[in-house]
Amino acid sequence: MSNSYDVVVIGAGPAGYVAAIRAAQLGLSTACIEKWVDQAGKTSLGGTCLNVGCIPSKALLDSSQKYLETRNDLAIHGIKVEGIAFDVSAMLDRKNKIVSQLTGGISGLFKANGVTLLPGTGMLKAGKKVVITSADGSSEEVSAGNVIIAAGSVPVDIPSAPVDGDLIIDSTGALELTEVPPRLGVIGAGVIGLELGSVWNRLGAEVVVLEALEEFLPAVDQQIAKDAAKTFKKQGLDIRLGTRVTGTEKSDGKVIVTYSNRDGEHQETFDKLVVAVGRKPQSSDLLAADCGVNLDERGFIFVNDFCETEVAGVYAVGDVVRGPMLAHKGSEEGVMVAERIAGKKAQLNYECIPSVVYTHPEIAWVGNTEQELKSDGVNYKSGVFPFAASGRAMAANDTGGMVKILADVETDRILGCHVIGPSAADLAQQAVIAMEFGASTEDLALTVFGHPTLSEAVHEAALAVDGHAIHIANRKPRGK
């Protein structure tokens, strides 16, 4: 086995494995280091996303949503179901099979593209040397013309609720529960907390979400966030804002949580407690003292707009660098870096990276929120179209939510798109494409959308920006 490569990638998550595959496609000798192992002790590719994050959570979200729809929503379609029940173990088996299929698929892609897999933990040293330590403690050193660090992230711990893997669990543990806890506490009302809380709420758990911030989903356009908060409340999620957990105690197989809010100190008892307060970069034991790569005060690796560190030929992508911790953001950074190493003038438009919350309804957005535009003093206009006026949404009995488009008053250029409702992730992606090409709302308004489709809501929202919507009464356009 060669100990020298054109490119060595540390980490085989969405950022790392994509970078490795693209580098190999470009004719560069490429190796990828990965420490993750499955229950059988075999190296498992795909990182957090495929193993214990994006993919398994979506599998359980879809399974639980199908159960809920079968129980509550089929009668309106004239479908009668009796004796409905669910099997958590079968749901977990399905989830695990999907994970196994996808992680195995990456292994096949590595072989097809000529990427060398190096099992173990990688540490960058001076001179673009990387030490790989195997699970048995043995080590080897490889050299690289270029190094791409894609080590990913790990859940954030909080001292007031130390994870024990039993009663107090992190997001990984919440994906492995073998039975529905009668009462589930979730610390954190972010994407992870809401998605995991939704899974177990649908299956019958009483879910209480404790969030320290006073504002719900502050990164989301607040018109959308307020609509989401009302919807989740109707679904049974008890979301308590301005609630700071100060301590936990385990007693008789339950967790007693102490928290404080504006009304003082309180206690709640749960059968399980999920800590979902965010993630932090996996940068410990990653960089030798002499490697020349530096971290900021939060543990992120310093990089420029092209993901270059201070050391020539050393790059960092994905969750270990600035920006949102999103698998697709990391993947595209990996492609950009691989292409730049190969001499191409690749770049990434960070203004057009979508975000999604895979609850039901889905929440998705790209670009600026209305509160950001107001804060920056931008003269903007907006258009909103509710799914309640969508024929396709009515036919599907899924009419909650809206599409909202924000645009510059002077240029009409689309500045942001925000969706809550059916297929929000896919609808927002249409706006991503439009924004990538610098489109105006007039461009969307002049585009022909199929009928009847959910996509028509994007078309109508674009029309509504200038007061030209057809299927709702128009309000006076903002900014006019």
Question: Cβ(365)–Cβ(419) under 8 Å?
Answer: yes
| Amino acid in the structure at residue 187 | I
Per DSSP, the residues of 170-199 read: -HHHHTS-SS--SEEEEE--SHHHHHHHHH
Q: Which residue has the tokens 């190969």?
A: 342
Of 365, 345, 357, whose CA–CA distance to 416 is shortest?
A: 365
From the candidates 451, 459, 468, 471, give the one annotated as an active-site residue.
451
Question: Cβ(124)–Cβ(293) under 8 Å?
Answer: yes
| Amino acid in the structure at residue 164 | D
Measured CA to CA, the distance from residue 106 to residue 46 in angstroms comes to: 7
Question: Cβ(215)–Cβ(221) under 8 Å?
Answer: no
Q: Which residues of 305-341 are buried (b: 16+ CB within 10 A; e: fewer)?
A: eebbbebeebbbbbbbbebebbbbbbbbbbbbbbbbb
CB contact set of 382 (below 8 Å; sequence gap of 6+) = 370, 404, 405, 406, 407, 465, 478
Question: Cβ(257)–Cβ(245) under 8 Å?
Answer: yes
Q: In what order do the strands lie in the sheet with 264-270?
A: 244-251, 254-261, 264-270
Of 117, 112, 105, whose CA–CA distance to 30 is shortest?
A: 117
Q: Is 418 considered catalytic here?
A: no
Measured CA to CA, the distance from residue 354 to residue 211 in angstroms comes to: 24
Q: Which residue has the tokens 């979508």?
A: 354
Measured CA to CA, the distance from residue 422 to residue 396 in angstroms comes to: 9
List residues with catalytic annotation: 451
